[in-house]
Structure 1
Amino acid sequence: MKQSLYRLFIELTNGKITSGLLKRFARSRASRMFVSSFSQAYKINEDEMEKRLTDYPTLHDFFTRTLKHGVRPIDEGADSIVSPVDAVIENIGMIKPEHIITVKGKDYSIKEMLGKEEKIEKYTDGYFIIFYLSPSHYHRIHSPVTGRVIDQWTLGKKSYPVNKYGLKYGKNTLSKNYRTITEVEHKFGKISIVKVGAMFVNSIEVIHEGDELVKGDEMAYFSFGSTVVLLFEKGSFTPLSSIKTPYDIKVGECAGYMSHQ
């Protein structure tokens, strides 16, 4: 029953007026009374949280919670690329000619997704991975690689659902939603980390400082469930053969390896 109510809450965020009201409510002190029931409804592991449940003054603070040190060990392989989020990998595949990725049987243009035509050629024939974060997931985003930020930009104004139904039936959600893109150069190529807003979650907060990123370090966070898309330069990445979608993964777990061709 509780989960059904929270699902209704999420659906209401699709409207401009209701999403604004709910966003304001989630940041208000009045929302504190729902923190416990939200945690129960989504079966959140409270033992991992840095704070006690009663220490979160608002739902927003709970959504953006941090975890205890060490509960997300980072794969130490020299050439490993790790998951940037706790999520479900909904799709993994190749970026086709004409700069297309196919997700849930639907084609998306990485030209539209990135919004910069000069960026796209290097990614054709490379891999993409779609990580979906539900409301139950930890919402902090960590760097999948050690490297240098060479560009960062924000596109889009509105956001629509990016769950499996939104990806299948929505209208270009991955390439039209509000999104922040961070392009990183690592030792074997480039990777674009596309952080896609969902519903009223147009608050993608980038928190890394400077141009250097270390694998596993925190770089941004969402205020609610959303999606991260990784785009890999051609010939620079080999995914784990054991990944069969949908695939549950956590921050720091190996998703594949850098490769050089």
Structure 2
Amino acid sequence: MIRFYNRKTRQYETENVAGCSFLKWIYYSNIGMGMLHFFIKRKIASQIYGLYCNLSISKRMIYDFVEKFNIDMSRFELQKEEYRTFNDFFSRRLNNEKINIEKDDNILISPCDSKVLAYQNIDKDMLIQVKGMTYSLSNLIKNQEIAKQYQGGTCLVFRLCPTDYHRFHFIDEGICEKTNFIKGFYYSVNPIALEKIERIFCENKRQWCIFHSKNFSDVLYVEIGATFVGSIIQTYTPNLKVSRGDEKGYFKFGGSTVILFFKKEIIEVDEDIIKQTQKGFETSVFMGERIGIKKNNRG
């Protein structure tokens, strides 16, 4: 059972996890763990499932998925019957009239719909995966010089579950450098898996880049694939100016993670998110929603 904090209702809720029984069997049984390491974590498994999700026959999965997970389709451009395949549905776009982005440049917005954890004054060599498990930033991005720049800064971990909107966006006006690609496995990023596999973010396929933000200095963006994520698609054009809220990219099927790193003394994360992280709970957020503020600009 995964519980998270809903900051709008100020209540704790239980996440309806897609494939929960399967995940528990994989990560908590000997046979499941054997299959995980032999086949499921490997690229071929995600490729096979991705091919199926690109076929028209996969469209039949959409209706049950929407009903089971109570997805509000009024937020999106198309209705469920208008998508050609499950992958089309999975990477669905928001209806522009439903997008609500904080306009104040000093306010830090969420880049995506997700459950977020926030860590301030980070040790770049001991980033928290879960209680008792850590990983290093230099191992995550395979670049020690850049990792050093974020010592004492802030780390925000956005977990996108399979039921979420799976596009991610820029948090500010600025210019984004080219994306760096790191090969890896395809472990789940669900908390069930995070508790079982050490340094899971450093094991999975991932991409990273530096975003030269107008208001928040140089932000390190990291996108991490997961089980059955066929691809991480970057839709922005490197080294061209982008605006606050512009799309950066999207994930194909599967739960995924976006991690943002900020330099020291740049941002202050909202108190409720910090408090819930300290208690061990993720906080649900939506793309464009306020999650913090630029230092020395309290509001």
TM-score with structure 1 length normalisation?
0.90
**Per the alignment, in what secondary structure is the counterpart of residue 22 of structure 1?**
helix
Paired residues of 2:73 and 2:79 also in contact (CA < 8 A)? yes
Distance 1:181 1:115, change over 3 A: same
Distance 1:146 1:108 in 2: 30
Q: Determine if the alignment matches structure 1 residue 25 to structure 2 residue 52.
A: yes
Tell me the residue number matched to 2:231: 203
1:218 is displaced (CA, Å) by: 0.7
Q: Is structure 2 residue 183 aligned with structure 1 residue 153?
A: no
TM norm structure 2: 0.79
Does the alignment pair 1:14 with 2:50? no
The 3 A distance-change label for structure 1 pair 4 and 124 is closer
Distance 2:51 2:76 in 1: 24
- Counterparts of 1:1-261 in structure 2 under 5 Å? 6-7=19-20, 14-16=40-42, 18-89=45-116, 91-94=117-120, 96-97=122-123, 99-105=125-131, 106-187=133-214, 188-211=216-239, 212-224=241-253, 225-243=255-273, 244=276, 245-259=281-295
How far residue 45 of structure 1 moved from its aligned partner, in angstroms, is 0.8
How far apart, in 2, do the equivalents of 1:98 and 1:133 lie? 23
Q: 5+ unaligned residues in a row in structure 2: which ranges?
A: 1-15, 27-35
Q: 8 Å contact 1:99–1:111 — kept in the other structure?
A: yes
Alignment check: 8 A CA contact 1:95 1:123 kept: no
Residue 161 of structure 1 contacts residue 199 of structure 1 at CA under 8 Å; is this kept in 2?
yes
1:68 & 1:83 partners in 2: Cα distance? 17
Shift of 1:23: 1.6
- Cα distance in 1 between the residues matched to 2:262 and 2:72: 32
Q: What is the rounded CA distance, in whole Å, between the counterparts of 1:219 and 1:35 in structure 2?
A: 25
Report the count of equivalent residues.
Answer: 258
SS at match of 1:137: coil
Change (3 A) 1:120 1:61: same
C-alpha contact (below 8 Å) 1:140/1:220 kept by paired residues: yes
Could you report, residue by residue, the CA deviation over 1:90-124 in whole angstroms, capped at 9, with x for unpaired residues?
x2113543532113212011111111111011101
Cα offset, 1:190, TM superposition:
1.3
Unaligned 5+ segments in structure 1 are none
CA RMSD of aligned residues (A): 2.3
Q: 1:8 to 1:258 in 2, by over 3 A?
A: same
Worse overlay, 125-134 or 211-220: 211-220
Counterpart amino acid of residue 263 in structure 2:
E
Q: Distance in 2 between matches of 1:218 and 1:49?
A: 15
- Change in 2 beyond 3 A, CA 1:5/1:92: closer
Contact 1:64-1:139 within 8 A present in 2 as well: yes
Cα shift at 1:222 = 0.6
